[in-house]
Structure 1
Amino acid sequence: MLILSAQERIRHIDVVTTQISAKSCWIFITVTSYSGVTGVAEATLEKHTARMCELIKASGRTLLDKDFLSAYKQCTQSLAASIIEATCLSALAGALLDANARIHGVPLAKALGDVQRNAVDVYANINRRTVDRSALSHANSARDALQAGHRAFKIAPFDEMSPELDSSQFAVALEAGLSRIAAIRDAVGFEPDLMVDCHWRFSPGRLDSLVAALADLKLYWLECPIDESSDNMKALAACREMCRRHGMLLAGAETACDYADLVPFIESHAYDVLMPDIRHIGGPEALSICGKKLAENDVHFSPHNPVGPIAAVASLHVCAVSTIAPRLEMQFDESPYFDSLIKPSVGTVIEGQLRLGDGDGLGVSLDEKIIESMEQADRMSCA
């Protein structure tokens, strides 16, 4: 990886919040050097916006006037006590890497390693776009994503499900989720890959019923069906084997805050696909290292990425240098700000792929005019 500069020092760090929908507030960090170069990263974390901003400002103040190399070491060598702290440190590290690549005049991907591909396979997360939770609305979202160039989709259809439901309640909740999945299959057929995220809503004792009910719907993967505690590793491994018998993969581990968090899943053979997120795992370099280690362990690498455009572009750069061809998640049509909030835009998905853009660093920047025009946006300094 390109060594960080020991000469460039941090002049200021800003936090930008943008409320882009009723549910989502995207959080960005900018790090600017004394030479005037700015790097950007994303620190979005649902339901924790206020705390995240406080933590970024506090952590950012400790980095002011430090050289890039020292600041990066501080971010990457600090032990995070929570996912909030991990997200803060990951974003600060990511913004430093972006700024450093811009200073050296290279794309972030090239700064991370040898570029393996200029186009990355992506899939559309259509869940937040589907505000109306009816089966018909899910089907319409899938159709729209297909028309927009996507060839694979992910939904979280089990809104009514909870581990505590009794048998009759479970049956009703299961049927509601299955109807949404079936509507998508009726709308777009079985050729597009379909992923189903369960958001840990099932209990271990009901995994066999879940997998059996999904068999005819031909999922590409089932994601996060149960709580990922150490007590559930055997249940996940058993679920993985059930899924395989029905032609499905099992995916998860999106909240991992470092590679050590992924090791239990690897050792337990709990998942076919591991999904570290650039926002939590330590930033672009850490995500890239995870990808290499997962390849060594013959585990699929598919970065979790359901949020804003900066995280999407940064994850795209990591996927471009991965030795195995990863499949990158990206949100679909939750808000027009996904395209307008940065310049140039993320780009157009063509036949299920997104191309790496041109330019140094990430190759994109926040559009300050758009941010200033937003009713619910704010910029705060760490000074």
Structure 2
Amino acid sequence: MAKISKIEYWRVPPRWLFVKITDENGVSGWGEASLEGHSQAVEGCLDAWAERYVGMEADDIERIWQLSYRGGFYRGGPVLMSALSGIDIALWDLKAKKLKVPIYELLGGKVRDKIRVYAWIGGDRPSDVEVQANGRKSQGFDAVKMNATEDLGWLDSPQKLEECVERVKAVKALGLDVGVDFHGRVHRPMAKQLIAKLEPQDPLFIEEPLLSENIGGIKDIAARTHCPIALGERLHSRWDVRPFLESGCVDILQPDVCHVGGISEMRRIASACETYDVALAPHCPLGPIALAACIQVDAVSSNFVIQEMSLGIHYNVDGDLKTYLSSQEILNVKDGYINLPNDPGLGITINEEAVRSLSEGSKAWVSPTFLGPGNELREW
């Protein structure tokens, strides 16, 4: 046993927040608390928890998780759960490193040796969708995810729906499986039409056909289609997930390890999904620590199907997965899979020099906003 001596964090490009916890023996673990567009709020929470948790036993992962969740009266939500994610992932990494085993060994042991992965290609603008898809294919991916469309209001032009179908056809013609992300941009009258038009293309899944707060609408849409419905990136705990499982309106759950309370909660969510015959496909357009944390849960979850990863990230700023890794074996994609890492902890080595250097003067990423033809606000 060793007490926590220091909790640090760094805001790094393009929009990530890394956490490092060190114990009194000098052993450290890395976590990620990225919450796109809300970094300052998460940092404030980490400041408060650092004051409280320094001096506690680093091995007491569940005690610290419960204290973080239940000890402040107000519970859940994206900010608190993202800060908790950074703490939780770092503590798992630290403990497994001390024991010289991968985290998945502490979660019960692996049920697979490699992980199927997919990457994002954009897709809401037609100009470069085939170029991006071919780029992913050359990287070793056999599956991609693309946006269905730019924002759609309650009743926009049906022509936009036809354009989406043509883009999906073009990508499928390259021999790739295609998940189609509505991203909550599409309101129900348009979503029903678009899903019906996409059905003949047999998409891998339809993601966020509506915003997650509209569970009634999602249930209605799920009952109308044979396409698998995927969602979960805007759900922040097993309690948020529960009504979707109970209503039977989700087929593939996509929790984000940086938003649900880390490895501890994602493991619980994965088990809950298994009882409802719902597949696990973690959301992860984030950094290398988040990806490595997802993989630890993927390795032990029998209902895991595919993992998102942001290799060759699409942001036009400094900083991507490779920038922050000293060892990059985890990024080697072959025939749509990556091998399960065997090194202790998260199985990756963080380039701390790059983290510290790139964090200097790093500004918080601001979520974009989109306006419709009448200058009204549309969904991101």
Q: TM-score, normalised by structure 1?
A: 0.86
CA distance 1:58–1:177, shift in 2 (3 Å): farther
The corresponding residue for 1:19 is: 13
- One-letter code aligned to 2:306: R
CA distance 1:376–1:50, shift in 2 (3 Å): same
Q: Distance in 2 between matches of 1:61 and 1:239?
A: 47
The corresponding residue for 1:4 is: none
Q: Distance in 1 between matches of 2:305 and 2:360?
A: 35
Q: Distance in 2 between matches of 1:117 and 1:365?
A: 22
Superposition pairs of residues 19-98 of structure 1, within 5 angstroms: 19-20=13-14, 25-70=15-60, 72-77=62-67, 78-79=69-70, 80-98=75-93
SS of match in other structure, 1:331: coil
Shift of residue 195, structure 1, vs aligned partner: 0.5
The corresponding residue for 2:373 is: none
Q: 133, 142, 166: which is aligned to 1:151? A: 142
Q: Distance in 2 between matches of 1:71 and 1:375?
A: 27
Q: Distance in 2 between matches of 1:377 and 1:195?
A: 37
The corresponding residue for 1:326 is: 305
Is this contact kept in 2: 1:98–1:362, CA < 8 A? yes
Deviates more, 1:364-373 or 1:206-215: 364-373
- One-letter code aligned to 1:242: R
Is this contact kept in 2: 1:18–1:378, CA < 8 A? yes
Is this contact kept in 2: 1:52–1:84, CA < 8 A? yes
Superposition pairs of residues 1-383 of structure 1, within 5 angstroms: 7-20=1-14, 25-70=15-60, 72-77=62-67, 78-79=69-70, 80-127=75-122, 134-162=125-153, 164=154, 167=155, 169-186=156-173, 188=174, 191-229=175-213, 232-244=214-226, 248-334=227-313, 337-345=320-328, 346-374=330-358
Listed one character per residue, the Cα deviations across residues 102-143 of structure 1 (whole Å, up to 9, x for unaligned) are: 11111111111121112011111233xx7xx63131111111
Is this contact kept in 1: 2:223–2:249, CA < 8 A? no
CA distance 1:269–1:111, shift in 2 (3 Å): same
SS of match in other structure, 1:254: coil
CA distance 1:274–1:157, shift in 2 (3 Å): same
Is this contact kept in 1: 2:212–2:234, CA < 8 A? no
Listed one character per residue, the Cα deviations across residues 3-52 of structure 1 (whole Å, up to 9, x for unaligned) are: xxxx21111011011113xxxx1111000001111101111111111222
Deviates more, 1:192-201 or 1:317-326: 317-326
Alpha-carbon RMSD: 2.2
- One-letter code aligned to 2:232: A
Listed one character per residue, the Cα deviations across residues 205-250 of structure 1 (whole Å, up to 9, x for unaligned) are: 3332111221233311101011222xx3343223223320xxx211
Q: For this pair of structures, how many residues does the alignment match?
A: 353
Deviates more, 1:48-57 or 1:370-379: 370-379
Is this contact kept in 1: 2:32–2:289, CA < 8 A? yes
Structure 2 unmatched runs, 5+: 364-380
Q: Distance in 2 between matches of 1:71 and 1:354?
A: 28
CA distance 1:49–1:176, shift in 2 (3 Å): farther
Is this contact kept in 2: 1:294–1:301, CA < 8 A? yes
Q: Distance in 2 between matches of 1:237 and 1:319?
A: 27
Listed one character per residue, the Cα deviations across residues 152-205 of structure 1 (whole Å, up to 9, x for unaligned) are: 00012322323x4xx3x343543454443344234x1xx421001111112223
Q: Distance in 2 between matches of 1:313 and 1:71?
A: 18
Is this contact kept in 2: 1:75–1:90, CA < 8 A? no
- One-letter code aligned to 1:37: V
Shift of residue 57, structure 1, vs aligned partner: 1.6
Shift of residue 69, structure 1, vs aligned partner: 4.2
CA distance 1:43–1:15, shift in 2 (3 Å): same
Structure 1 unmatched runs, 5+: 1-6
- One-letter code aligned to 1:112: L
CA distance 1:375–1:36, shift in 2 (3 Å): closer
CA distance 1:47–1:123, shift in 2 (3 Å): same
Is this contact kept in 2: 1:39–1:95, CA < 8 A? yes
4+ residue stretches of structure 1 with deviation over 4 A?
Answer: 69-72, 375-379
Is this contact kept in 2: 1:27–1:42, CA < 8 A? yes
CA distance 1:269–1:37, shift in 2 (3 Å): same
Q: Distance in 2 between matches of 1:370 and 1:62?
A: 28
Q: Distance in 1 between matches of 2:57 and 2:355?
A: 29
Is this contact kept in 1: 2:282–2:306, CA < 8 A? yes
Q: Distance in 2 between matches of 1:322 and 1:217?
A: 29
SS of match in other structure, 2:321: helix
Shift of residue 61, structure 1, vs aligned partner: 1.7
